[in-house]
Structure 1
Amino acid sequence: MPEFIKTYVRVVDAFNRRVGIFAMYLIFVMLGILLYSSVSKAFHLPANWTLESAQFTMAAYFMLGGAFAMQMGDHVRMDLFYGSLSLRRRAMIDLVTCLALITYLGFMLYGGISSTTYAIRYGEKSFSAWAPYMAPIKIVMTFGVLMMLAQSFSALFKDVAEVRGKPIA
């Protein structure tokens, strides 16, 4: 593989690892929000922001952690025959699925950019009592899709290298 592809793989993997480790801690933020919500309800204090904040935190956790999960091989995979195949044959199968994933993520990115642009341009707010602006979470979600797309290309390059018999470490 050319050196610029190896560099791309190393940079994308390192970046997504760091963001993924950060995203892992968002679960504790969400737990804190939900704990506050429970305590505030026990003392009859209004906290109309907690449910939506927890949902936004969970969305950020899920979207920012997706590329890291892909990198670690933690996504769900139907393993009827896959596990018994050689690394080269697995890479061939992964090439096909990776191309499908890249196509899907391309459409997701297009929709995410469109939706984020709309939210920023028109000051879109949630239809709730709290009515937070939607642009921040849409930016985070679109960024998460972009990271998944970058990680998918990294996986594609690794699979091509594996099929050629020269794996990228």
Structure 2
Amino acid sequence: MSALLKLDRCVDRIADLTGVLAGLLITYCMVLGVVDVFLRYALNSASLWIGPTLQAAMVLIACTAGVYAFKEGTFVRLDLIYDGLSRRTKAILDLLTAGLGLIFLWVLMWKGKEAVELALLLKQTTPTVIPMPLAPIKAAIPISAMLMTIFVIRQIIKDIVTLIGPERPVGSDEAHEVPKAK
């Protein structure tokens, strides 16, 4: 098995783990959101820590679920137009938008790294009764941007292979992906 194929599978596993983590975080938000409402309105005893942890979890959900959604091909796109296109046209559109995506991801990594460094330097915490350090939460942003960059580069390679590969009939190209070796 080639090193590139092993790397591809490793990246897929990492994305699958981010999907599991996103699911756990969503469950956490649902359960603690209900607990917070119950404490506040049924027992008239609002929690001081649930709100900030839910906010942190929401940031982490956006980071982890985004990576997983991109890997699964369910990331945001205009399916109304995209789904009716041929493999090659999809690949061309993907390549055109990949450049914009890479610029955006580069800015996320650059500014995210600066935000983490500042949070560490200033020892930033949440302004609550139970102060949570902000650096780990802020670190999720450039880390997820790095993972997304890997997936965008992988998609660029697949799109190039699609463009230089043999023509296939319309309908046989739903994901326009290169088949993975077993």
What is the TM-score with the length of structure 1 in the denominator? Answer: 0.87
Q: In 2, distance between residues paired with 1:10 and 1:157?
A: 15
Are 1:95 and 1:156, in contact at CA under 8 Å, matched by a contact in 2?
yes
Are 1:30 and 1:54, in contact at CA under 8 Å, matched by a contact in 2?
yes
Q: In 1, distance between residues paired with 2:3 and 2:96?
A: 23
The structural deviation recorded for 1:128 is 4.4
Q: In 2, distance between residues paired with 1:25 and 1:145?
A: 20
The structural deviation recorded for 1:46 is 4.2
**1:46 to 1:27, Cα distance in 2 relative to 1, 3 A:** same
Does residue 55 (structure 1) correspond to residue 28 (structure 2)? The answer is no
Which consecutive aligned stretches of 4+ in structure 1 deviate over 6 angstroms post-superposition?
none
The structural deviation recorded for 1:86 is 1.5
Supply the AA of the counterpart residue of 1:26: L
Are 1:23 and 1:60, in contact at CA under 8 Å, matched by a contact in 2?
yes
Unaligned runs of 5+ in 2: 167-177
The structural deviation recorded for 1:119 is 0.5
Unaligned runs of 5+ in 1: none
Identity %: 22
TM alignment of 1:91-106, pairs within 5 A: 91-106=91-106
Deviations 1:62-113 (A, max 9, x none): 1111111011121221245422221122111101111210111011110101
Give the number of the structure with larger relative contact order, counting CA–CA contacts within 8 Å between residues 6 or more apart: 1
How many residues get paired?
167
Name the structure 1 match of 2:37. Answer: 38
Supply the AA of the counterpart residue of 2:43: F
